[in-house]
C-alpha cells in the first residue's frame, strides 16, 4: 500500500515553472501594480488592469511559492469582478479567474468551503458564457469547463463524492470531443486531467480498464505537450503512478519496471528546490521498494532508503504526507533488517512506524495496514532476539489490524496471514492450533487479494498443518494453492513452492486416498502445457446449445494461445522482473477474460465440469494398454503409485529415498544445462562423453526406485519404459492415434552447422539421414538438408508428414520458450512449434541434444522441445535428456527405424517406445562400454 498524493490537479504547483525568469516575473508584477495605482476605480481599464495584476501575482506564486502572492492575487481578482459591469462579455472570465485562484487555495489549505466556492463560481462562469452564445468564445468555454472539472476533481479527492468525479469526467470529455470536432489538437493539460480522473475512477471501482484508459490519455498528453519541463515531468509522474497501480492490480512486474523508469525521468527533470522534488523522491523510493520485493537486490533497497531519507529530511512536520513518508522509510528499514542482523536498524524501523501510526489516527485503512507492518517487524525481531516484549507487541498490533480491516480490502489476506504467523509463536495446545488455522482460512476468503498473496497464505496454512500432523487441513491448503496456480502463472508472479502438487499428493496418501493423490499430481504437473491444451478445447457440444458463448470461448482462447506462444519471457513465471518496453502486456487481462467465460460456461446445465481438473475415473482409462507408474517425491514422503486399468492404486513407499538426495538426483538429470554451453554432438567412438555421473545416477535410480517397483508379481521380467509429462497428455495422444490409410510420409531434416556461437560441425548428420533412408520407401521420404533446412521451409512442410526426424544441433535455453532446434538460418523455437496445427503428426525423432531437458526452476512443467512437439500433435516422440554422442546418433536412429518399419503392416508410431528400447539393447550387446552414451535417449507418449 503506497502513499496517496493529495494535490493531483493539473494546475501548476509552486516551484514548477523553472523556465520563467524570476526577474521578469517581478518586473511584470511591479509594472501592473503601477498601472493599477494610476487608475481610478471608475476608469474603464481598471477592471482589466486588476485582472492582469491578479494573473501576474498568480504566475509568481507558481514560480516562487510565496502564498502571500496567491492571496493577493485573489484580492485583485475580486476587485476586477467588482469593477466589471453585469453586461460586460468578460464577466465570465472574471469569475473564472477567482474560481481558479480559490481552487489553488482550497488545495493548499484543504478547505472544503473554499473548494465549494470555487466550484460555484466556475459553474456561474460556464453558464454565463453559454448564455452569450458567442461562437468566437469557444476557446474560453473549453478553459472554463476544464477549470470546473479540476475543481470538482479536487473536491472528490477531499470528500469522496462519486458524483463530483463523474461530473468531472463528463466535462473533460466534452472538452476533448470539442477539440476533435473542430479538428484542433487536444490540450495536454486537458488530456492529463482526464487521465488523472480515470486513475481516481479506478481507485473507486477497481476496474483495470480505467487504469488502461488513464495510461492511454496520459501517453497522448505527453505526445502533444510542448517541451516545457514543468508540464512534461508532471505527465511522466502521472504515468508512473498509473503504471504502479496497474502493477498492484495485476501483479505484472513489467508495469513496475516501466513505472520506475518513468518516475526516474520525472525526478531528473525536477530541480531540488521544487516542491515536487520531495514527492517524486518519495514515489520513486516506494516503487524501488516494490522492485526489491521481487528481485531481492540489496542495491535496489539501499537506493530506496536513500531517497526516502532525503525526502523525509526535507518534509515539514505539518506536511499532510508526513505519516506516509515515515511509514515507507520504516518499512524499507524493516526489509534491510530482515536481510541482515542490525538491531539498531530494527529499532529505527519500529520507531518510524510508530510515529506514522500516531499521525494517522483518523485513517482506519492506513492504520490497519501500518499496524500489520509494525507487527511484522516486532515478530521478526522476536524470532531473532526472543524478547517476549516484542512478541506481546506483535500480538497487540496484529490483533488491532486484523479486527479493524474490512474483508473486502485487498490487503485483508496479508493481515490475516501475519496474524496467524504471530499466533503460531504462542501455539501450545489444540485450541491455539484452531485459532491459527482459522486466521489462515479467513485470509483465503478475500478474493480481491493478489493471487500471489493468497498462494502464500494457502501454503503457510498447509505447512503449519503438516507440522501439527493435521494432514486433512494441510491438504485443504495445498488444494487451494493448486487452484490458484493458473492465476499465479498467467499473471507473471512467482510460484514460490515448486513441490505443491507433490506435497498435496503426500498428504492425500497420509489420509489413505491414493486416487485423490493421482488427481492432484495430474492437476499440478505440466501446468503451463495443460493450460495451453485448454485453449484448444473442442466446444462442439457447447456450440449446439450455446453458440454465442462457444464463439466467445474460441476467440479469447485463440488470442490467449497466440500471446503465450509468442512470449519469449517465461522468466516472468519464475518471478523475475520482465524487461519490456510495452506497458500493455495483454496476457493477464486475456486470462481474466478467459476465466470469466469459463465460469459462465460452468453455470450452464450439463457443463459444470467444463475444464475442471480431471477425475480419477478418467485418468484410469490411460492404463488400459499398460500400467502407469507415477513417482512422487516430497519432503514429507516418497512413493511410487502404480495405476492399472481395473485394480486399486498400488502405493509403493520408497523408503530408501531421502528427499535431499532426490533433489540432487533431479538436478543431476538436468546436468546438460549445468555443464555449460554448448552441448557437443561430436565425440569419436573411442572417447567418453564425460557422463560417468549419468551411469551412477542411473544405478541409484534403479536400486532405490525401479527395483522397488518391478519386483514380481507386479511386472514381468521383460518391459519397455516410456515417459509422459501428464496422464492426460498420454490419453490425448492415444485418442488421436488413428492409423493413416495411405503410405507413411516421412520428413527428415539434417543440419550440420549452427548460427549460434560455439557449436561444432556435426560430422555424422549426413550418415544418419542415409541410414534411416534404407528403411523408408523412397517415394515416402522427403529430405531437407543443409541450405534447404531453413525455419520457413521446415515449418511449411511439417504439416504434410506423419513422421518427422531432426538430426541437428539443439539446446534447452534458460528461457524455456527460447529452446530451439538449430536450422540453417536460425532457431526453430518452441513457440514456433506450438503454433503449428499438425493434424497428420504421429511420430517425431529428435536426434539432437537437450530436447527433453526442461528447466531446473520448474521441473514439473516439462518446458522442452519434446513436450512442444507432443502439444503440437505428435503422439510419440523420441528425445534426449542432455547432450548426445554424434558418433552414436546414426546407430541409434538406424536401429529405431529398423524396428519401426520392419512390421508386415508398415510403420506404427505406437511402437516408438518399443523400437527405442530394442535399439538400446541391441547396441549394448554390439558395443562394449557405451551404456552412458545411450542413457540420454527417452521415449515420450504412445
DSSP 805: E
Three cell numbers, residue 448:
480481491
Cα(465)–Cα(441) distance, integer angstroms: 12
Cβ–Cβ under 8 Å, residues 824 and 787: yes
Instruction: Please list, residue by residue across 691-723, b when 16 or more beta carbons sit within 10 angstroms of its beta carbon and e when fewer do.
Output: beebeebeebbeebbbebbeeeeeeeeeeeebb
Cα(312)–Cα(322) distance, integer angstroms: 8
Largest CA distance in the chain: 118
Q: How many CB atoms lie within 10 A of CB 838?
A: 19
Cα(777)–Cα(525) distance, integer angstroms: 40
Looking at residue 579, its pLDDT comes to 30
Cβ–Cβ under 8 Å, residues 942 and 914: no
Cβ–Cβ under 8 Å, residues 799 and 839: yes
Instruction: Please list, residue by residue across 897-907, b when 16 or more beta carbons sit within 10 angstroms of its beta carbon and e when fewer do.
Output: bbbbbeeeeeb
Q: How far is CA 27 from CA 31, 33, 63, in A?
A: 6, 10, 14
DSSP-derived 3-state class of residue 655: coil
Geometric angle at alpha carbon 794, from 871 and 820, rounded to 5°: 55
Q: Which positions ≥6 away from 786 have C-beta within 8 Å? A: 750, 751, 752, 824
Cβ–Cβ under 8 Å, residues 706 and 629: no
Three cell numbers, residue 903:
512390421
Cα(379)–Cα(371) distance, integer angstroms: 12
Find out whether the peptide bond into 678 is cis, omega within 30 degrees of 0: yes
Q: Which positions ≥6 away from 846 have C-beta within 8 Å? A: 806, 810, 821, 852, 865, 866, 869, 877, 878, 879, 880
Cα(63)–Cα(55) distance, integer angstroms: 13
Contacts 24+ apart (CB under 8 A), 34-39: 36/76
Three cell numbers, residue 510:
497420509
Cβ–Cβ under 8 Å, residues 490 and 470: no
Cβ–Cβ under 8 Å, residues 361 and 387: no
Cα(822)–Cα(799) distance, integer angstroms: 19
Element holding 245 (H helix, E strand): helix 229-250
Q: Per-residue DSSP letters for 583-616?
A: S---HHHHHHHHHHHHHHHHTSTT-TTTTPPPPH
Three cell numbers, residue 547:
453458440
Q: Per-residue DSSP letters for 45-92?
A: THHHHHHHHHHHHHHHHHHH--HHHHHHHHHHHHHHHHTS-TT-TTHH
Q: How far is CA 145 from CA 92, 165, 169, 172, 353, in A?
A: 12, 14, 11, 7, 43
Looking at residue 305, its pLDDT comes to 96
DSSP bridge partners of 806: 749, 846
- Dihedral sign, CA of 445, 450, 454, 455? positive
Q: How many CB atoms lie within 10 A of CB 406?
A: 12
DSSP-derived 3-state class of residue 783: strand
Looking at residue 535, its pLDDT comes to 66
Element holding 893 (H helix, E strand): helix 889-901
DSSP-derived 3-state class of residue 750: strand
Cα(99)–Cα(696) distance, integer angstroms: 83
Minimal CA–CA distance to 637: which of 506, 473, 500? 506
Residue 850 Rama label (left phi>0; alpha psi -120 to 50; beta): left
Minimal CA–CA distance to 845: which of 904, 928, 911, 925? 911
Query: CB-based burial of residue 186 (10 Å sphere; 0-12 exposed, 13-18 middle, 19+ buried)?
Result: buried
DSSP 633: E
Minimal CA–CA distance to 513: which of 521, 505, 523? 505
Cα(570)–Cα(564) distance, integer angstroms: 9
Three cell numbers, residue 244:
504502479
Looking at residue 610, its pLDDT comes to 85
Cα(576)–Cα(493) distance, integer angstroms: 8
Walk along the chain (942 residues) in steps of 10 and give the mean pLDDT of each run.
30 42 80 91 92 90 76 92 90 89 81 86 87 86 90 86 92 91 86 93 83 93 82 91 86 88 93 84 92 90 95 87 92 94 94 93 81 95 94 95 88 93 89 93 89 91 95 96 80 60 95 95 78 72 87 81 52 31 48 83 88 89 88 91 92 87 68 43 43 66 78 53 85 71 88 91 94 93 95 94 95 86 93 82 94 76 86 90 90 94 80 90 85 87 85
Q: Which residue is listed with cell 469593477?
A: 83
Minimal CA–CA distance to 248: which of 385, 410, 431? 410
DSSP bridge partners of 643: 628
DSSP-derived 3-state class of residue 630: strand
Cα(779)–Cα(745) distance, integer angstroms: 8
Phi, then psi, of 111 in degrees rounded to 5: -105, 110
Q: What is the CA radius of gyration of the chain?
A: 34
Looking at residue 21, its pLDDT comes to 53
Cα(798)–Cα(878) distance, integer angstroms: 17
Minimal CA–CA distance to 629: which of 534, 488, 521, 543? 521
What are the strands of the beta sheet with 746-750, ordered from one edge?
781-785, 746-750, 803-807, 843-847, 876-880, 937-941
Q: Which residue is listed with cell 462457444?
A: 550
Contacts 24+ apart (CB under 8 A), 225-231: 225/188, 226/188, 228/19, 229/18, 229/19, 229/269, 229/270, 230/12, 230/16, 230/17, 230/18, 230/19, 231/188, 231/189
Cα(701)–Cα(695) distance, integer angstroms: 10
Cβ–Cβ under 8 Å, residues 455 and 488: yes
Minimal CA–CA distance to 260: which of 235, 285, 229, 278? 285
Q: How far is CA 720 from CA 405, 630, 803, 841, 846, in A?
A: 59, 15, 21, 23, 19
Minimal CA–CA distance to 851: which of 804, 796, 786? 804
Amino acid at each position: 500500500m503506497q502513499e496517496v498524493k493529495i494535490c493531483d490537479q493539473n494546475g501548476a504547483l509552486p516551484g514548477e515553472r523553472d523556465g520563467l525568469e524570476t526577474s521578469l516575473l517581478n518586473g511584470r508584477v511591479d509594472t501592473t501594480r503601477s498601472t493599477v495605482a494610476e487608475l481610478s476605480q471608475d476608469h474603464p481599464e481598471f477592471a482589466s488592469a486588476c485582472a492582469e495584476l491578479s494573473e501576474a501575482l498568480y504566475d509568481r506564486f507558481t514560480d516562487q511559492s510565496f502564498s502571500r502572492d496567491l492571496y493577493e492575487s485573489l484580492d485583485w481578482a475580486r476587485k476586477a469582478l467588482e469593477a466589471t459591469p453585469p453586461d460586460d462579455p468578460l464577466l465570465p472570465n472574471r469569475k473564472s479567474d477567482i474560481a481558479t485562484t480559490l481552487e489553488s487555495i482550497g488545495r493548499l489549505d484543504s478547505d472544503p468551503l473554499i473548494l465549494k466556492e470555487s466550484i460555484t463560481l466556475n459553474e456561474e462562469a460556464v453558464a454565463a458564457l453559454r448564455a452569450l452564445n458567442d461562437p468566437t468564445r469557444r476557446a474560453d468555454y473549453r478553459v472554463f469547463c476544464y477549470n470546473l472539472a479540476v475543481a470538482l476533481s479536487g473536491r472528490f479527492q477531499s470528500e469522496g463524492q462519486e458524483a463530483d468525479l463523474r461530473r468531472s469526467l463528463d466535462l473533460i470529455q466534452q472538452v476533448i470531443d470539442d477539440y476533435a470536432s473542430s479538428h484542433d489538437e487536444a490540450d495536454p493539460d486537458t488530456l492529463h486531467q482526464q487521465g488523472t480522473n480515470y486513475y481516481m475512477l479506478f481507485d473507486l471501482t477497481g476496474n483495470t480498464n480505467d487504469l488502461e484508459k488513464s495510461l492511454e490519455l496520459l501517453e497522448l498528453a505527453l505526445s502533444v505537450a510542448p517541451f516545457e519541463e514543468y508540464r512534461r515531468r508532471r505527465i511522466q509522474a502521472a504515468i508512473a503512478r498509473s503504471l504502479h497501480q496497474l502493477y498492484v492490480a495485476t501483479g505484472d512486474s513489467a508495469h513496475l519496471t516501466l513505472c520506475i523508469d518513468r518516475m526516474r525521468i520525472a525526478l531528473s527533470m525536477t530541480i531540488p528546490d521544487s516542491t515536487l522534488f520531495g514527492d517524486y523522491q518519495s514515489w520513486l523510493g516506494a516503487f524501488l521498494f516494490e522492485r526489491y520485493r521481487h528481485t531481492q537486490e540489496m542495491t535496489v533497497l539501499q537506493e530506496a532508503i536513500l531517497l526516502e531519507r532525503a525526502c523525509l529530511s526535507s518534509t515539514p512536520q505539518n506536511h499532510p504526507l508526513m505519516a506516509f513518508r515515515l511509514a515507507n522509510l520504516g518499512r524499507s528499514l524493516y526489509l534491510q533488517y530482515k536481510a541482515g542482523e542490525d538491531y539498531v536498524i530494527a529499532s529505527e524501523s519500529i520507531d518510524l512506524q510508530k510515529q506514522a501510526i500516531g499521525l494517522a489516527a483518523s485513517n482506519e485503512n492506513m492504520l490497519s495496514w501500518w499496524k500489520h507492518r509494525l507487527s511484522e517487524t516486532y515478530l521478526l525481531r522476536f524470532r531473532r532476539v526472543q524478547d517476549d516484549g516484542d512478541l506481546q507487541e506483535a500480538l497487540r498490533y496484529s490483533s488491532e489490524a486484523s479486527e479493524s480491516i474490512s474483508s473486502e480490502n485487498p490487503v485483508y489476506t496479508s493481515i490475516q496471514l501475519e496474524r496467524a504467523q504471530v499466533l503460531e509463536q504462542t501455539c501450545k495446545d489444540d485450541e491455539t492450533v484452531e485459532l491459527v488455522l482459522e486466521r489462515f482460512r479467513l485470509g483465503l476468503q478475500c478474493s480481491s487479494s493478489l493471487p500471489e498473496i493468497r498462494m502464500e497464505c494457502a501454503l503457510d496454512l498447509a505447512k503449519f498443518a503438516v507440522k501439527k500432523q493435521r494432514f486433512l487441513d494441510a491438504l485443504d491448503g495445498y488444494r487451494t494453492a493448486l487452484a490458484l496456480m493458473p492465476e499465479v502463472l498467467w499473471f507473471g508472479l512467482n510460484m514460490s513452492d515448486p513441490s505443491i502438487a507433490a506435497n498435496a499428493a503426500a498428504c492425500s496418501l497420509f489420509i489413505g486416498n491414493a486416487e485423490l493423490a493421482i488427481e492432484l499430481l495430474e492437476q499440478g504437473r505440466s501446468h503451463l502445457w495443460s493450460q495451453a491444451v485448454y485453449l484448444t478445447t473442442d466446444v462442439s457440444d457447447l456450440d449446439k446449445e450455446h453458440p454465442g458463448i462457444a464463439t466467445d470461448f474460441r476467440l479469447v482462447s485463440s488470442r490467449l494461445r497466440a500471446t503465450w506462444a509468442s512470449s519469449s519471457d517465461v522468466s516472468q513465471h519464475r518471478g523475475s522482473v520482465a524487461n519490456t518496453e510495452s506497458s500493455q502486456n495483454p496476457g493477464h487481462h486475456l486470462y481474466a477474460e478467459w476465466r470469466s467465460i469459463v465460469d459462465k460456461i460452468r453455470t450452464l446445465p450439463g457443463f459444470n465440469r467444463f475444464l475442471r481438473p480431471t477425475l480419477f475415473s478418467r485418468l484410469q482409462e490411460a492404463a488400459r494398454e499398460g500400467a502407469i507408474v507415477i513417482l512422487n517425491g516430497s519432503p514429507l514422503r516418497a512413493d511410487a503409485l502404480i495405476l492399472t486399468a481395473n485394480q486399486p492404486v498400488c502405493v509403493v513407499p520408497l523408503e530408501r529415498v531421502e528427499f535431499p538426495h532426490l533433489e540432487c538426483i533431479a538436478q543431476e538429470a538436468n546436468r546438460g544445462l549445468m555443464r555449460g554451453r554448448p552441448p557437443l554432438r561430436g565425440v569419436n567412438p573411442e572417447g567418453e562423453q564425460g557422463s560417468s555421473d549419468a551411469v551412477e545416477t542411473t544405478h541409484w535410480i534403479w536400486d532405490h526406485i525401479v527395483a522397488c517397483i518391478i519386483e514380481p508379481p507386479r511386472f514381468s521380467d521383460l518391459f519397455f519404459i516410456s515417459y509422459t509429462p501428464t496422464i492426460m497428455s498420454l490419453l490425448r495422444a492415444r485418442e488421436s492415434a488413428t492409423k493413416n490409410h495411405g503410405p507413411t510420409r516421412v520428413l527428415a531434416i539434417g543440419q550440420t552447422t549452427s548460427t549460434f556461437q560455439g557449436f561444432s560441425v556435426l560430422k555424422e548428420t549426413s550418415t544418419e539421414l542415409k541410414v534411416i533412408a534404407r528403411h523408408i520407401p523412397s517415394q515416402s521420404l522427403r529430405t531437407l538438408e543443409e541450405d534447404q533446412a531453413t525455419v520457413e521451409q521446415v515449418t511449411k512442410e511439417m504439416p504434410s508428414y506423419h513422421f518427422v526426424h531432426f538430426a541437428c544441433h539443439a539446446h534447452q535455453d534458460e528461457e524455456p520458450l527460447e529452446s530451439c532446434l538449430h536450422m540453417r538460418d536460425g532457431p526453430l523455437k518452441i513457440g514456433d512449434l506450438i503454433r503449428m496445427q499438425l493434424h497428420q503428426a504421429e511420430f517425431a525423432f529428435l536426434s539432437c541434444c537437450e530436447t527433453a531437458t526442461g528447466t531446473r526452476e520448474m521441473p514439473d512443467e516439462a518446458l522442452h522441445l519434446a513436450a512442444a512437439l507432443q502439444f503440437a500433435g505428435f503422439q510419440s516422440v523420441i528425445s534426449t535428456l542432455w547432450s548426445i554422442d554424434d558418433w552414436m546418433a546414426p546407430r541409434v536412429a538406424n536401429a529405431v527405424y529398423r524396428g519401426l518399419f520392419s512390421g508386415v503392416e508398415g510403420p506404427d508410431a505406437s511402437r516408438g517406445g518399443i523400437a527405442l528400447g530394442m535399439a538400446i539393447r541391441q547396441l549394448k550387446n554390439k558395443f562394449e562400454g557405451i551404456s552412458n552414451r545411450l542413457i540420454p535417449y527417452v521415449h515420450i507418449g504412445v
